[in-house]
A and B are shown apart, each in its own frame.
Chain A
Amino acid sequence: MASETQAPVSSCVDAGGGAIGMPQLCPDWMGNQIFWLVVTLVVIFLILSKVALPRIAAVLAERQGRITNDIAVAEDLRQKARDAEAAYEKALAEAKAEAGRIVAEAKDEMQAEMDVEIAKADAEIAAQAAESEKKIAEIREGALDAVKDVAMDTVPDIVAAMGGKADAKSVKTAVNERMKG
């Protein structure tokens, strides 16, 4: 700065343009500084209070509002999701109960049908068994009669062959007695 050619006209500056002492203490310049300082401060104050600060405050408030709003919306959506989940759970439980009921019903139906069929089959089997019993009894009767007839036929011959004589009446009695035992 020593080579500065222009030398301000002031009591605080030497011939070479250098400062004499502290320029901060030079009374010649203070009026100028204070005047421009006041102008500057007023300008800054007007700029800040009329434009800058309201604008920034509005932006901050808007952002805060948006955030609060978004959080509320998110909360709402979460509640909706919870409701949907609950409805789904409920529907699922209902469907399960319905399915269980249908299965039980089908089982009961089948059981009833089966019972009827079994009863019918049992009855048929019983009837057939009775029939068979009867037939067997008949056959057995028939067989006994046949044996008696054969005995009746053969006994006189056998007695004759032994050299005896048998009348029909005694033979019949003897055979009957034998058959009973």
Chain B
Amino acid sequence: MKRISLIIALALAFVTLAHANDSVATNDSGMEYKVAVGFNIGGTSPIGLPAEVRSINSYMPTANLSIAGYAVKMFNSAWGLKAGLRFENKGMEAGIGVKNYKMTVNVQSGDEVGVKTGYFTGDIKNKTRMGYVSVPVSAVYRLNKRWDFHAGVYAAYAIDANFTGEVVQGRIRETPLTPIVSVNQADYDYSGDLQRWDVGAEIGASCKVYRNLAIDAHFTWGLMSVLDPDKRKMDMDNYNLYLNLGLSYTF
């Protein structure tokens, strides 16, 4: 909750700042300022599932809000450059079925806390929740007064990173040579082993629907695996693939 308040406060500050600059934000200079709110829907997902994944049992998008401020500089009537600052959550809940999937669970309660690694066959329920500060930079193409298209890149840093889940109704063995142990339920938490930086591509469109109010959509494709390949405990590279839908207001 605290974090959300912080994000809102920062965004409001940004809006105020944008307003303060309103006097200079004339069409003559080619500068425009926008604030945008929206939500991300998608997945932090491997591109090409590992062969050990045998089924996808469930998928639930989580409430991923985004709030952003952008500055747009139009060089001529068609082309411009857009840069901004975006606070956003990216996350999802997914259930997968795996077979002989090498992973580490950390037992967090009881006498024998610690990490246990083994080959797991069964179901995994995973929750990913990342809170990013993103800096997108895009080229803008203005088709007409209503439609803007943009494509570019973004860099993001996760101020909040959670990757947790549980293994349920399965069996695990340390190696194929050790006995099988049934597992009713065990938790894992890889939040400490995540890559906080993400860079990627984004592409989107904006359509003015009423005066300065527009409906926005953009798709972001992260190129950095959220599970840090150097310290990961699950045999998977997963990337942020999210569609953002929202509204923006141009001052």
Does A pair with B? Answer: no
Chain A residues engaging chain B, CB cutoff 8 angstroms? none
